[in-house]
Structure 1
Amino acid sequence: MAVSGKKASKQFSSSTTSMASDEYLQIYCQPCDEEGTRCPAHGYCTDCKEHLCKTCFKAHRINKFTKKHTLLDAANMPKVLQQPSTSLHTGLLDDLTLPCGKHPKEMIKFYCNDHTELLCSVCVTLEHQATSCKVNYIPDISGDIIDSKEYQVFLNAENTTSDQFRQILKDVKNMTHKSNNSLRDTLVVIKTFRQEINQRLDELERQAVDTVKVIEQKNNKHMKAVETTCEEVTKSLKISSDKIKQLNTTKQADKLFIDLKLAEKTIKDMEGKLLKLSSNDIKEHNFQSNDVITNLFKTEKSLGTLTQKTLKTECQSVQIQSRRSSHEGEICVKTPKDKYMCYITGITLLTPDLLIINDYKNKAVKMVDTSSQSVSDQLQLDDQPFDITTVTSTKFAVTLPDIHTIQFISISSNKLKKKHTMKVDGKCHGISCYQGKFVVSFYHPTKLQTFDMNGTILTTIDGTTKFKGPWYITCNSSSIYISDCDMKTVTRLNWQGDVIGSYCGMSQPTGMSLSDDGTVFVCDWERHVIEEISGDCSTGELVLQDLKTPRAVCLCGETKKLYYSCNAWDEKYDNFLHIHNLSYT
C-alpha cells in the first residue's frame, strides 16, 4: 500500500502500512509485485491472503488449484495490505524459489506423483493435466516431510551411495595400480621374449655360417690336392719330354725307343688320372631362407597377445553366500473375475506390502496385499500381459507382446488405473526400468531397445549373435541380464550392448529378480528349480528345488521373502503365489 502520488516502497508487500484517514490508499497486486510489476489491486483471495489485480483475479477463478478459493471484489476486499501468515504453509511459499528447468521464469511449486517430477505452473498446464496425472501443490504435501521415513531413507541411501562411491574410487585406484604394475611386468616379458628370439636367430645363423665354412674348407682341400697332382704330372711329363728330345737329337735310337714307349704308357695312365680329376664334386651355392620363418614374419602381426583378466570392485566381486530357505505358505490369486486358471508370467514389488502380478490367460493385472494375503484389486487389459516392471511406488508398466504395446498403470486410492500406452515395433516380452530408462526385449525380431520415459528410443542392440530367445530381462547400473530360453543361458550385457558374462547350464531360464547385493535369482522352468547367480555370471547355487515348473520370481530385500509363481497346469499350484523365507547360513 502506498500514498497516491508518492513513490511506493519496494518492500511494501511484506508489511502492513497504516495511513492517515485523509490519505487516499492505493493497494497493489501482490503476485505481480513479487515479479517486479506494479498493478492496482482488483480483488482479494481469502485462502491465499493476497490482493490480486484484474488479470490475476480472473486467472485465480480458472486455475484448477485456485478456482475453489474464496474471492472478494474491490468493494469488499481489505483496504490495508495483509500481514503474511507465520504458518508453516506460508513459510514454504517463501521457499518456492527454485526456477523450473524448462521454464526458467517460473518457480517449481507442484509435484507429479505419476511421473515423479517437480513442476512449475506452465508444466502443469501443458504436460500434466489433472485428467491424466495426479499433481499436488508442494506446500499441501510437504508438511510431513520433516524427519519422515522418506527423509531417513534418503539419508541412509545417501550414506550408502557415498560409501559405495568412495569404495569404488579406492578399488579403482588399487586396480589401476595393479594394472600398471602388470603392464610393466609385461614389458619385461616382451623384452625377454625378444632376447630369446634374437638368441635363437643367432644360433640358427651360426649353424648356417658353419655349414658354409665346412663346404669352403672342403673345396679348398680338394683344390689343393688337384693342384699338387697337376704340378707333379706336368713336371714329370716335362722331364720325360726333355729326355726323349735329347735322345732324338743324339740319335740314340735304342734308348729313344724304350723311353718313348714308356712315356706313351705314362701318358695313357695320366689320361685316366686326368679324367678322374675332371669329374669333380664342386658346386655353386645359394641361400634359400626358411619358408616357415619367412612366412612367420610376413603374416604375424605381433610378437604375442596381451591376455586380460577383469579386475573387480568390491561390489562386483560379491560371491553367493549359502542360503537357507523355509516355506512360509501361499497366497491365492484366483478371483471371481477370472474365466480361466491363473497363469502368472510376471511379478513386481512396489512396496514390501504390495505386489503386482500379470495373469496372462485372464488378460489382467492384479494387486496383491501381502499383509492380508489377498488380491485387493484387479484390472482387465486389452491383451495378454507378459512381463512387468516397477516405475515408481505407485506406477508400473507391462508388456503386451501380441499387440506390440507397453501399458502403463498407476495406483490411486488402492485402485488400479490404466494410464498411457507406448507402441513398439515388435513382440515385446521382457521389460525392466532403472533410473528413468526402460530396457525392453523383443523376440521377433530378436533385439533389445532402451527408451526414456517419453518413449524415445535411446539404443537398439541387435541380438543376432548375442542372444536368441530373450524372454525376461532385469538390469542395474552396470548390467543388463537376459534369460535366454533358446540358448539356455543367462547372458550379461553392459549398457553399450557388449556381452560381459554368461551363465550356462540352464534348461529353460524364465523369470528373474535382482537382489540388493547384485546377485540374480532365476527360475529354471524345465529343471523345476530357482537358482541364484553371481552378478558377474561366474557361479550359481540352487536356492529352491523340486518345484512345480516355476515361471516368475520376485525377491523382497527388506523382508527376505521370495515370491514365485508356477505354470504347472494344475490349479493347486498355478492359482497361488508361493512364499519362501530366505536367510544366510
Structure 2
Amino acid sequence: MASVDLKSRQRSPRKTESPVKQLLKQPLGTDEFSVRLPSDKKTCSITGSAFLPDDKLVVADATNKKIKLFSADLKSIAHLETQTAPRDVTTMSNTEIACTLPNDRTVQVIHVGKTMTVSKSFKLDVECYGICYHDNAFYITSGWSTDKEVQIMDTEGVVQQKLRPEKGILRCPLYVTVDGKLDHIYVSDYETGIVGMDMLGNVTFKFSDTETKGFMGICSSPQGEVFICTLQPNGISRVQTETNRVYGSITTLNEPELEPVISLPTFNKGGQRPRSIAFSRKSQKILVSYVGQSVDMMNIYHF
C-alpha cells in the first residue's frame, strides 16, 4: 500500500510552466558562527535548522535540549528548553515554528518573538524525526520507528495520510522536504538514499549507489532545487531531479545522480561531516550543521 488516506487533501490543479532553471552553482563566500549559548552545559549538537521568512534562524540543539532563535545577523534572540532532545525544526511563519521530540513522539508548535513559548503539542504513534511544513500541513518522518513512513498532519494534530512505500524502500527515513512547485515529497533515508514521492505516496524517484553513503539533511529551494547532505562523499550535493522534469508532471530519471555543490575535506583529514541543512528563500544561502568535533560552529554558504 502506498498510502493510508485518513482524510483526503483537496488541491487545486497545477499549471504547466517552463522547466526549472538551476540557480545555485558554487558558493561565493562562507560565514562561520557559533550557536553556543552561555547557558549551554554541553557541546552543541545541531540536528535540525530552518530559516524564517524574514531570515531569522532557528536550530534544534539535541545535547542541550534547546530550540534556539537567532537574528538575521546571527545574534541570539531567545531559546526554549525542551523536556527531551529535539531533532528537527520547520518554519510556519515569522512568528511560528514547529519541532519534533522523538523520545516523546511529540510535535510542538512554538510561538517565536522576543521569547519562545509552546502553543500546541501533538502526540504521534511513531518516533517523529524530520519535519517540514507546507500548504498548512506537517510532513513528518518516522525515523527509527518500526513503521517506515511519512505522516501528513494538519495544524490541529490530525493525521490525514500515512505514506508507506513498498517494504525496503524506506529503512531509516530521517529528513524530509517538500517541493512546493509540484507538491512533491523528498525523503532522506540514511541507508537507502533519496526517495521522491507524490502526495499519494507513489514513489517517482530514487537515488542510491555504492559510492554514496550516510544520507542526512535535505532541503529545497523555491525554484525546485533539492539539496542533500552526505557523509560519503563528504559534502552537499544538488539532487538532479530537474533533468527530465517539467512543471505539472515529473518523470523518473534513467540515471539519477548528485551534482556536488559544497565539497568538504574527508573526516579523517579533519573535515566536518554535514548533518542538517536549511535554505534561505530570502537571501539565497545555505546553512549547514555538522557531526563531530567543533559542532558548536555552523557555516552559511552564500551564492
TM-score, scaled to structure 1: 0.44
Aligned counterpart in structure 1 of residue 136 of structure 2, from 428, 436, 459? 436
| Cα separation, 2, equivalents of 1:452 and 1:322 | 32
User: How far 1:342 sits from its partner (Å)?
Assistant: 0.6
Letter in 2 for 1:382: Q
Compared CA separation, residues 341 and 539, structure 1 to 2 (3 A) = same
TM-score, L = length of structure 2: 0.82
Alignment correspondent of 1:581: 302
Deviation sequence 1:391-431 (CA, Å, 0-9, x none): 2221111111111111111113x211111110001211111
Structure richer in strand, relative to its length: 2
Q: Does residue 1:491 correspond to 2:202, yes or no? A: no
Residue of structure 2 equivalent to 1:461: 163
Name the count of aligned residue pairs: 267
* Correspondence 1:257-268 to 2 at 5 A: none
Whether the 8 Å CA contact 1:471–1:484 is kept in 2: the answer is yes
Of the three residues 57, 62, 67, the one matched with 1:355 is: 57
Per-residue deviation, 1:388: 1.1
Give deviations 1:107-164, integer Å, cap 9, x for gaps: xxxxxxxxxxxxxxxxxxxxxxxxxxxxxxxxxxxxxxxxxxxxxxxxxxxxxxxxx8
Q: Give the counterpart letter for 1:475 in structure 2.
A: V
Aligned residue in 2 for 1:508: 214
| 1:519 partnered with 2:232 | no
Which has more helix, going by share of residues? 1
Question: Is the Cα–Cα contact under 8 Å of residues 65 and 83 in structure 2 kept in the other structure?
Answer: yes
- The CA distance in 2 between the partners of 1:554 and 1:348, in whole Å, is 5
Does residue 346 (structure 1) correspond to residue 48 (structure 2)? The answer is: yes
Query: What do residues 185-213 of structure 1 show as CA deviations (whole Å, max 9, x unaligned)?
Result: xxxxxxxxxxxxxxxxxxxxxxxxxxxxx
Gaps of 5+ in 1: 1-163, 169-312
Q: In structure 1, the residue corresponding to 2:199 is in which secondary structure? A: coil
Contact 1:352/1:559 (<8 A) preserved: no
After superposition, what is the alpha-carbon deviation per residue over 1:473-516, rounded to whole angstroms, capped at 9, x for unaligned? 111342110001111x1110001001001122331111111012
Separation in 2, partners of 1:561, 1:389: 17
- AA at the equivalent of 1:467: L
Structure with greater contact order relative to length (CA < 8 Å, sep ≥ 6):
2
Say whether the 8 Å CA contact 2:140–2:150 is kept in structure 1: yes
Amino acid across the alignment from 2:297: F
1:554 is aligned to 2:272: no
Among candidates 439, 447, 450, match of residue 152 of structure 2 = 450
Larger Rg: 1
CA distance 1:542–1:416, change in 2 (3 Å): same
The 8 Å contact of residues 366 and 378 in structure 1, kept in 2 or not, is answered as yes
**Alpha-carbon distance change, 332 to 403 in structure 1, aligned in 2, over 3 angstroms:** same
CA shift, 1:558, in A, is: 2.6
> Aligned AA for 1:481?
Y
SS of equivalent residue, structure 1 residue 351: coil
Q: Does 1:402 align with 2:107?
A: no
Q: Which amino acid aligns with 2:29?
A: H
Is the Cα contact below 8 Å between 1:492 and 1:501 reproduced in 2?
A: yes
In structure 2, what residue type is equivalent to 1:501? F
Shift in alpha-carbon separation, 1:526–1:339, aligned structure 2, 3 A: farther
Kindly report the root-mean-square deviation, in angstroms, between the aligned alpha carbons of the 2 structures. Answer: 2.1
The answer to whether the 8 Å contact 2:153/2:160 transfers is yes
For the structure 1 residues 319 and 504, does the alpha-carbon distance in structure 2 shift closer, same or farther, using more than 3 Å as the test? farther
Shift of 1:324: 2.3
Aligned to 2:247: none
Out of 510, 513, 532, the residue aligned to residue 238 of structure 2 is: 532
Cα shift at 1:320? 4.2
Deviation beyond 4 Å, 4+ runs, structure 1: 319-322
Q: Distance in 1 between matches of 2:183 and 2:119?
A: 30
Q: Secondary structure at the match of 2:103?
A: helix
- Cα shift at 1:535: 3.3
Taking structure 1 as reference, are residues 322 and 411 closer, same or farther at Cα in structure 2, changes over 3 Å only? closer
User: How far off is 1:319 after superposition?
Assistant: 5.8
